Amino acid sequence: MYAIIESGNKQFKVQEGDVINVELLKVDAGDNVVIDKVILVGKDGAVSVGAPYLSGATVDTSVVEHGRGKKVIVYRYKRKTGYHKKNGHRQPFTKLKIEKINA
């Protein structure tokens, strides 16, 4: 059984037991989160598709940890003027473990 869920305006294909990184959620580590934005559920060869979301379908997850991604270098440069600026950015994320898909 698999599902396609939406979190942080991104879509993820998940199965039970998967661990995914989503945009930072305002919950504590160890808490349970229920995601109700389920777009598609596939079970035993049958596929259910929502318009845009499936009603009554949820995905139970638990928060493993919060963290920050690898550093991305942002470099701005304008030729012939001597202008250059270097910045770094680390995107915060929440690591979720998929416990159960309820369809």
State residue 2's pLDDT score. Answer: 95
Tens-place pLDDT, residues 59-84: 999 999 999 999 999 999 999 999 99
pTM of the entire structure? Answer: 0.84
User: What is the DSSP track for the chain?
Assistant: -EEEEEETTEEEEEETT-EEEEE--SS-TT-EEEE--EEEEEETTEEEE-SSS-TT-EEEEEEEEEEE---EEEEEEETTTTEEEEEEE--EEEEEEEEEEE-
